[in-house]
């Protein structure tokens, strides 16, 4: 098996896919979080400002999802097919909600009628809230595993089996961290009474996150079999939960001192460390089988050919700096407070 710096190609592609979906969760997470607060703003002007805060960014942040999905399909096609079979309903709902969310952003302010704007406000709020929740539900199901049999055939239920207790908890935890992230981002983009309102909402959001995070963590440690085994084998990785806990503790401190830029960085680090924990816990498994571990989808039995992975890794080396440069330019160009004009949503 071919390697780069002693790391085999499937492991490198595992890291690439993980980085792409982490970027998506962090950058699009505050977009979804901002939208999940939408109906908590009472005035039409406040809602317009909140939408325009993400206006130049939301469609660009979708790039991470597109590239991440493409990378998963190209590098681990078996995993892509198996996961879609098991999670068909939530993924179809996810795609539908993405379309509705985009429509709400585009159409909401195109007419002056109050009823028109209220309908799209509800669509925008519901779509953002459910997208964040569903992403967590999918993650919770992956951590628990699927009923996979020989040749990775999914033997589980289709319709509502994905809404199990643990998946519901991870869904709420994901939504809560998105809402915390979104409120902090909006504080950076707003001023006046809306800024004061967001300060109040952020405190509620942080309580929601801490309670849901603590509950999910306790359930994980108590009921998920073997969740601590890898930490016993490689104690150095205990640094990941420690760093995640420190990041969680630091966000309220920074918010209380009105250091919102730093708070946004640390809320992003919470997601990064938690996703690293997931990656470390699963590796080299992509989709665990609850029937028999030998039926699990791993980075080795799901990977494309060595030549394909080698070519794609070369493309990543070329494309990664371009992607990073584009987003640095984008966020630098559109930093600062929101000012509405004739071109605003």
Per-residue tokens: 61: 């942040």
Distance of CA 2 to the CA centre of its chain: 31
Q: Are 135 and 42 in contact (CB under 8 A)?
A: no
Which phi and psi (to 5°) does residue 154 adopt? -80, 125
Q: 154-182 pLDDT, tens per residue? A: 998 888 889 999 999 999 999 999 999 99
pLDDT computed for residue 109 by the predictor = 85
pLDDT computed for residue 244 by the predictor = 93
- How many degrees, rounded to 5, is the angle at CA 207 between CA 201 and CA 210? 140
The mean pLDDT value for 186-192 works out to 92
Task: With residue 329 as reference, give the H or E element that holds it.
Answer: helix 306-333
pLDDT computed for residue 342 by the predictor = 63
The mean pLDDT value for 297-325 works out to 93
pLDDT bin (cut points 50, 70, 90) of residue 125 is very high
Say yes or no to pLDDT of 82 above 90: yes
Q: 197-211 pLDDT, tens per residue? A: 999 999 999 999 999
pLDDT computed for residue 343 by the predictor = 64
Q: 32-81 pLDDT, tens per residue? A: 999 999 999 999 999 999 999 998 889 889 889 999 999 999 999 999 99
Which phi and psi (to 5°) does residue 298 adopt? -120, 170
Say yes or no to pLDDT of 324 above 80: yes
The mean pLDDT value for 97-108 works out to 94
Smallest CA-to-CA distance from 29 within 138, 146, 188, 135 is with 135
Round to whole Å and give the CA distance between 345 and 56.
Answer: 10
Round to whole Å and give the CA distance between 178 and 209.
Answer: 9
The rounded mean pLDDT for the chain is 92
Domain boundaries, the chain: 7-334
329 CB-contact burial (10 Å; exposed 0-12 / middle 13-18 / buried 19+) = exposed
pLDDT computed for residue 226 by the predictor = 80
Percent of the chain with pLDDT over 70: 99
pLDDT computed for residue 160 by the predictor = 85
């Amino acid at each position: 098996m071919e390697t780069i710096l002693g790391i085999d190609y499937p492991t490198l592609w595992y890291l690439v896919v993980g980085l792409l979906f982490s970027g998506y969760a962090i950058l699009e997470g505050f977009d979804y979080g901002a939208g999940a607060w939408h109906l908590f703003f009472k005035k039409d002007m406040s809602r317009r400002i909140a939408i325009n805060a993400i206006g130049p960014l939301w469609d660009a942040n979708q790039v991470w999802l597109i590239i991440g999905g493409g990378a998963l399909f190209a590098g681990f096609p078996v995993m892509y097919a198996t996961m879609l079979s098991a999670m068909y309903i939530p993924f179809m709902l996810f795609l539908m909600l993405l379309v509705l969310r985009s429509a709400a952003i585009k159409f909401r302010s195109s007419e002056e009628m109050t009823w028109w704007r209220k309908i799209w406000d509800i669509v925008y709020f519901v779509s953002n809230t459910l997208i964040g929740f569903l992403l967590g539900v999918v993650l919770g199901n992956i951590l628990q595993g699927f009923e996979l049999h020989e040749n990775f055939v999914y033997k589980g239920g289709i319709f509502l089996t994905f809404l199990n207790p643990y998946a519901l908890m991870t869904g709420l935890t994901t939504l809560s961290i998105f809402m915390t992230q979104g409120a902090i981002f909006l504080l950076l983009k707003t001023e006046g009474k809306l800024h004061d309102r967001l300060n109040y909402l952020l405190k509620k959001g942080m309580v929601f996150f801490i309670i849901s995070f603590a509950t999910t963590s306790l359930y994980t440690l108590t009921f998920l079999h073997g969740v601590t085994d890898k930490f016993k084998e490689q104690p150095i990785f205990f640094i990941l939960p420690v760093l995640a806990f420190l990041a969680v503790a630091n966000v309220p401190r920074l918010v209380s001192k009105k250091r919102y830029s730093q708070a946004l960085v640390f809320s992003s680090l919470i997601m990064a460390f938690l996703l690293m924990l997931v990656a470390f816990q699963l590796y080299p498994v992509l989709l665990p089988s609850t029937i028999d571990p030998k039926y699990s989808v791993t980075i080795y039995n799901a990977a494309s050919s060595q030549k394909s992975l080698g070519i794609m890794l070369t493309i990543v080396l070329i494309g990664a700096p371009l992607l990073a440069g584009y987003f640095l330019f984008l966020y630098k160009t559109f930093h600062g407070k929101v000012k509405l004009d004739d071109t605003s949503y």
